[in-house]
Amino acid sequence: MLAKLAGSLLGSPYAIAALAALLGVGALLWTLRDVRQGGYEARVAQEVQDEVAAWRERNRDDARIRKLTDYELCRDYVRGGGELPDGGACEQLRGLHGQ
């Protein structure tokens, strides 16, 4: 009797429509999950690329700064809008590097 009832329900157009709707909603939710995961992975990859680029730029800056003498460093800082007065403060450093 139960098998006959199940067979008649599965054969009804309403049951088929309900099953199709349920499968459609499941497929939509699965797709949304994949899209969301893909967006997250793309964002994380971009953050890693940005961090690597910033790290490389800092290394280039550090290498350039290490090559400067005290005088050159002072002069670049004053030119760059630093807070040291330009009243000859850097001139005192000229020649100290060689001593």
Q: What is the pLDDT along the chain (99 residues), one digit of tens a residue?
A: 555 555 566 667 777 788 788 889 888 888 888 888 888 888 899 999 999 999 999 999 899 888 888 888 887 777 766 555 556 667 777 765 554
Name the token pair of 30: 């699965």
Name the token pair of 68: 């400067």
Per-residue pLDDT at 55:
95
Q: Where are the alpha helices (DSSP H) in the chain?
A: 2-11, 13-67, 70-79
Contact present, 84 and 77 (Cβ < 8 Å): yes
Per-residue pLDDT at 72:
82
Any residues with CB less than 8 A from the CB of 75 and at least 6 apart, and which? 90
